[in-house]
């Protein structure tokens, strides 16, 4: 039996807020691979890790490549290290590249490590020890923090995945306004959604495919399949050169960061969860426009937040009322509040207790403590002090999901248009 052997390559932490992008570096490596007859097995992968990781530049993403482990593997390693040396933003204190080469099978232990890199914090020392224990060849540049993400990027199994097409700018245009014809982006969205998604935030008229940083990316289009990406690329018109483009397979928009919590008390700070709870109080808005309310279950309670950047989502949240049972998805951040990414209504509380209505049609008022109610118009009285349940109409719907707008969404958050895939 012929056993095919592969070489896995992981790269992370090469960029800085001032420029570069690890995906661009990967695309340059792939070009050099092509020039040298080194073929990739499957698409390059862009793997998003713990959204709360402290040293991330933007979205905490690492990249991995898979090639045949044949007589060209040595050359491939050389190309990777040379490109990382050449293109990484070494001047930035927070840029600490890490490269991993691994020529074995991806084991369960490695998969578990990758999930830990999504759910928890891992130190450089821990990653190095782990990498060595499974036989990774480790290359650290400066502090080498990137090895944490690199090992995870090669190891993560993708039971669910999406694709992203990234188009890159010419170097002389870095940092200048991107020349993208917005009308064509609207057209592209109209023609390719929901195969492509997260293109535009209609509520804010915000073009989400356009990055806001001085990086080499001109635009990034996200999709469930490659065909739609190629169609979308044909539709989007730009007024500047695209020097290169590359499609990545990714865990973006899969909810892979979300763990199911059986109770509120088991959730920990800097973890991302889905949990069911009862709304305790009417959502209130504070200075700065952030909206908060508590949910509770038998084990405890937690404050949930819909922050100002979630814009109109706060209006939806404001329709929640005490007694509603909801399933919230999100993460517990810096302030120890549960930052909501989306929620599902499990059961609305559609009953309100009101003063009884008199025969004459007027609402009765209290006749005093323990004295029941009386009608001010016709003098009728009822003895009972109990308010009566009235069914009310709610604008929210049972079973329905409600999500933050595209402009405020995390890379890993699964949008509703993908929920039943």
Contact set with ligand ATP (CB under 6 A): 12-13, 15, 21-22, 49-50, 53, 55-61, 96, 117, 120-122, 145-146, 148-149
Helix axes 108-119, 124-134, angle to 10 degrees: 170
Question: What does 69-125 look like in DSSP terms, one character per residue?
Answer: -STTHHHHHHHHHHHHHHHS-TTSTT---EEEEE-S---HHHHHHHHHHHHS---HH
Cβ 225 to ligand ATP shortest distance, Å: 23
* Cβ distance to ligand ATP smaller for residue 13 or 189: 13
Task: Return the structure tokens found at 408.
Answer: 């405020």
Tokens 């097995």 belong to residue: 41
Collect all residues with Cβ–Cβ distance below 8 Å to 116 and sequence separation of at least 6: 122
Coil/strand/helix, residue 293: strand
* Cβ distance to ligand ATP smaller for residue 122 or 200: 122
Cβ 221 to ligand ATP shortest distance, Å: 16
C-beta neighbour count of 113 within 10 angstroms: 22
Task: Return the structure tokens found at 147.
Answer: 């090895």
* Cβ distance to ligand ATP smaller for residue 60 or 344: 60
* Cβ distance to ligand ATP smaller for residue 61 or 283: 61
Cβ 162 to ligand ATP shortest distance, Å: 16
Question: Which residue's CB comes closest to ligand ATP?
Answer: 149
Collect all residues with Cβ–Cβ distance below 8 Å to 262 and sequence separation of at least 6: none
Question: What does 223-281 look like in DSSP terms, one character per residue?
Answer: ESSHHHHHHHHHH--BSS-EEEEEEEEE-TTS-TT-EE-SSGGG--TT-EEEEEEEE-S
Cβ 291 to ligand ATP shortest distance, Å: 27
Cβ 149 to ligand ATP shortest distance, Å: 3
* Cβ distance to ligand ATP smaller for residue 104 or 271: 271
* Cβ distance to ligand ATP smaller for residue 58 or 371: 58
Cβ 108 to ligand ATP shortest distance, Å: 19
* Cβ distance to ligand ATP smaller for residue 59 or 368: 59
Cβ 116 to ligand ATP shortest distance, Å: 7
Counting Cβ atoms within 10 Å, is residue 386 exposed (0-12), middle (13-18) or buried (19+)? exposed
C-beta neighbour count of 414 within 10 angstroms: 24
């Amino acid at each position: 039996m012929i056993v095919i052997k592969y070489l896995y390559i992981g790269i992370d932490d090469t960029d800085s807020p001032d420029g570069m992008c690890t995906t661009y570096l990967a695309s340059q490596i792939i070009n050099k691979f092509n020039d040298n007859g080194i073929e990739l097995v499957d698409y390059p992968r862009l793997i998003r890790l713990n959204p709360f990781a402290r040293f991330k530049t933007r979205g905490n993403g690492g990249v991995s490549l898979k090639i045949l482990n044949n007589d060209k593997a040595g050359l491939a390693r050389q190309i990777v290290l040379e490109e990382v040396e050449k293109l990484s933003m070494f001047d930035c204190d927070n840029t600490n590249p890490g490269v991993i080469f691994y020529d074995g099978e991806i084991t369960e232990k490695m998969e578990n490590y990758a999930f830990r890199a999504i759910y928890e914090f891992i130190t450089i020392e821990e990653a190095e020890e782990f990498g060595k224990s499974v036989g990774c060849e480790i290359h650290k540049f400066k502090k080498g923090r990137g090895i944490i993400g690199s090992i995870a990027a090669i190891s993560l199994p993708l039971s669910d995945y999406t694709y992203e097409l990234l188009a890159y700018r010419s170097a002389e245009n870095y940092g200048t306004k991107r020349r993208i014809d917005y009308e064509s982006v609207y057209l592209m969205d109209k023609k390719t959604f929901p195969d492509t998604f997260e293109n535009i935030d209609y509520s804010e008229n915000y073009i989400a495919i356009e990055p806001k940083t001085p990086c080499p990316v001109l635009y990034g289009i996200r999709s469930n399949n490659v065909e739609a990406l190629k169609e979308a690329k044909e539709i989007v018109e730009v007024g500047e050169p695209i020097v290169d483009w590359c499609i990545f397979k990714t865990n973006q928009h899969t909810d892979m960061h979300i763990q199911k919590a059986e109770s509120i008390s088991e959730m920990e700070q800097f973890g991302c969860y889905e949990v069911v709870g009862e709304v305790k109080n009417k959502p209130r808005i504070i200075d700065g426009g952030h909206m908060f309310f508590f949910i509770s279950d038998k084990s405890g309670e937690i404050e949930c937040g819909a922050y100002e950047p979630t814009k109109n989502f706060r209006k939806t949240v404001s329709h929640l009322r005490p007694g509603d049972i909801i399933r919230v998805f999100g993460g517990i951040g810096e302030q120890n509040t549960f930052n909501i990414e989306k929620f599902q209504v499990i059961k609305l509380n559609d009953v309100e207790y009101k003063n009884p209505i008199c025969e004459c049609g007027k609402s009765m008022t209290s006749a005093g403590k323990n004295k029941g109610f009386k009608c001010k118009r016709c003098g009728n009285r009822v003895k009972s002090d109990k308010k009566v349940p009235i069914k009310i109409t709610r604008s929210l719907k049972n079973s329905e999901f409600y999500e933050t707008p595209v402009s405020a969404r995390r890379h890993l958050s699964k949008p509703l248009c993908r929920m039943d895939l």
